[in-house]
């Protein structure tokens, strides 16, 4: 469903962020960060120094909340223990199907058994470790996996799951999976949401699931303002903005030189309709709209 399946992306050389680059980014941004999520558009467990990266954020820069977003295929007990030791607060595990066939078809070449094993490892660690941490599931709903979502806890109810995050599929461009029309399923999805609310309430799991009828992902005036204010995306190529020469300039100097504060004030004075149009046409983060 995501950019990794597009032919252009698949042809690109995969880069591993050098630790020195990460340390530079950390020194620029982490003292201001409330939350860091590693691996939002790549697979963090492929990075050989992931535990060290968590440690740098948590122990050196004191980022209050550090998580990873992972498909959990390489999440062994030993890696999970190292991450917890380094101070990790949350594992977000992506899974887009509660049945084996759907899960493996939507996330090739992932294995359903490995997913179960990883969730079992986290559940066991929570019971025996004295470090508290959260497990969040990220389930992106599409026409192929929407019907089985109602059975989520029948298949995965035995595991530690602190948050269940459900969202509708977005149009991310030239992806292999293109079926995004959920309109025929809105009524049954609304019933599914009610069942999940009951299940989650009973087991004290937080449910993040906007009503399926809402135009989630379209952008609201508030999200148009808040996202650019609070989100700082960093990859091996770009840190926050394309024209930020982050290797040589400090964050503060860049903000000053480019009049960032003035542009924030100007944003607050913009008309809501302009903001909505802008976020619709612009870059989209995989976040939720803010109501
Ligand atoms: C691109 S993945 C990469 C991070 C990591 N490898 C993982 O598996 O979580 C990050 C999240 O994007 C979400 N995602 C992928 N394609 C999507 C789409 N078309 N619409 C909405 N979310 C999508 C998935 O749910 C996944 O949890």
182 lines ligand 1 (CB under 6 A): no
For residue 135, how far is the Cα from the chain centroid?
Answer: 13
Q: List domains and CATH numbers for the chain.
A: 3-216 (3.20.20.70), 217-285+287-291 (no CATH)
Residue whose C-alpha is closest to residue 178's, from 186, 170, 167? 170
Q: Given this model, what pLDDT does residue 291 score? A: 43
CA distance 16 to 225: 32
Cα-to-centroid distance, 261 and ligand 1 (Å): 32
Q: Given this model, what pLDDT does residue 195 score? A: 97
77 lines ligand 1 (CB under 6 A): no
Q: Give the position, in ligand 1's atom list, of the atom nearest the Cα of 138.
A: 27
Kindly report the protein residue whose alpha carbon is nearest to atom 7 of ligand 1: 70
Residue 113 makes CB contacts below 8 A (sequence gap 6+) with: none
Cα-to-centroid distance, 136 and ligand 1 (Å): 13
Output the CA torsion sign for 246, 249, 253, 254: negative
Q: Given this model, what pLDDT does residue 286 score? A: 47
140 lines ligand 1 (CB under 6 A): yes
Burial 220-251 (b: 16+ CB within 10 A, else e): bbebbbebbeeebebeeeebbeeebebeeeeb
CA distance 174 to 178: 8
Kindly report the protein residue whose alpha carbon is nearest to atom 15 of ligand 1: 2
The values of phi and psi at residue 249, to 5°, are -115, 145
Q: Given this model, what pLDDT does residue 290 score? A: 47
Q: Given this model, what pLDDT does residue 280 score? A: 60
Cα-to-centroid distance, 95 and ligand 1 (Å): 9
Residue whose C-alpha is closest to residue 205's, from 146, 150, 145, 164? 164
Cα-to-centroid distance, 94 and ligand 1 (Å): 7
Extract the tokens encoding 52.
Answer: 């060290």
Contact by Cβ (8 Å): 15, 236: yes
Mutate to test the pocket of ligand 1, among 43, 69, 141 (most ligand atoms within 8 A of CB): 69
Cα-to-centroid distance, 2 and ligand 1 (Å): 6
Kindly report the protein residue whose alpha carbon is nearest to atom 27 of ligand 1: 94
CA distance 24 to 45: 21
Extract the tokens encoding 277.
Answer: 């149009």
Kindly report the protein residue whose alpha carbon is nearest to atom 1 of ligand 1: 41
pLDDT in tens, the chain (291 residues): 888 887 777 777 777 899 999 999 999 999 999 999 999 888 999 999 999 999 999 999 999 999 999 999 999 999 999 999 999 999 999 999 999 999 999 999 999 999 999 999 999 999 998 889 999 999 999 999 999 999 999 999 999 999 999 988 888 778 888 888 999 999 999 999 999 999 999 999 999 988 888 665 555 666 667 778 888 999 888 999 999 999 999 999 999 999 999 988 887 787 877 776 666 655 555 455 544
69 lines ligand 1 (CB under 6 A): yes
286 lines ligand 1 (CB under 6 A): yes
2 lines ligand 1 (CB under 6 A): yes
56 lines ligand 1 (CB under 6 A): no
Q: Give the position, in ligand 1's atom list, of the atom nearest the Cα of 217.
A: 21
Q: Give the position, in ligand 1's atom list, of the atom nearest the Cα of 177.
A: 19
């Amino acid at each position: 469903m995501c950019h990794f399946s597009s032919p252009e992306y698949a042809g690109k050389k995969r880069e591993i962020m050098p630790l020195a680059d990460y340390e530079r980014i950390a020194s620029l941004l982490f003292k201001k960060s409330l939350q860091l999520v590693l691996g939002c558009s790549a697979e963090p467990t492929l990075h050989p120094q992931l535990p060290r990266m968590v440690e740098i954020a948590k122990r050196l820069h004191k980022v209050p909340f550090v998580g990873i977003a992972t498909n959990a295929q390489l999440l062994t007990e030993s890696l999970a223990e190292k991450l917890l030791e380094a101070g990790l607060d949350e594992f977000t595990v992506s899974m887009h199907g509660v049945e084996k066939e759907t899960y493996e078809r939507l996330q090739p070449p992932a294995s359903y058994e490995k997913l179960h094993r990883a969730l079992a490892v986290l559940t066991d660690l929570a019971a025996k470790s004295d470090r508290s941490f959260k497990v969040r599931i990220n389930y992106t709903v599409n026409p192929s996996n929407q019907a089985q979502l109602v059975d989520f806890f029948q298949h995965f109810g035995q595991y530690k799951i602190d948050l269940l995050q459900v969202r509708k599929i977005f149009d991310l461009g030239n992806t292999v999976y293109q079926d995004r029309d959920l309109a025929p399923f809105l009524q049954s999805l609304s019933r599914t949401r009610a069942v999940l609310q009951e299940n989650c309430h009973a087991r004290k799991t937080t449910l993040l699931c906007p009503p399926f009828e809402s135009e989630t992902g379209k952008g609201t005036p508030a999200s148009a303002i808040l996202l650019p204010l609070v989100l700082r995306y960093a990859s091996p190529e770009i840190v926050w903005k394309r024209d930020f020469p982050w290797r040589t300039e400090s964050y503060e100097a860049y903000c000053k030189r480019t009049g960032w504060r003035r542009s924030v004030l100007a944003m607050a004075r913009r008309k809501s309709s302009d903001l909505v149009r802008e976020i619709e046409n612009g870059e989209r983060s995989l976040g939720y709209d803010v109501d």
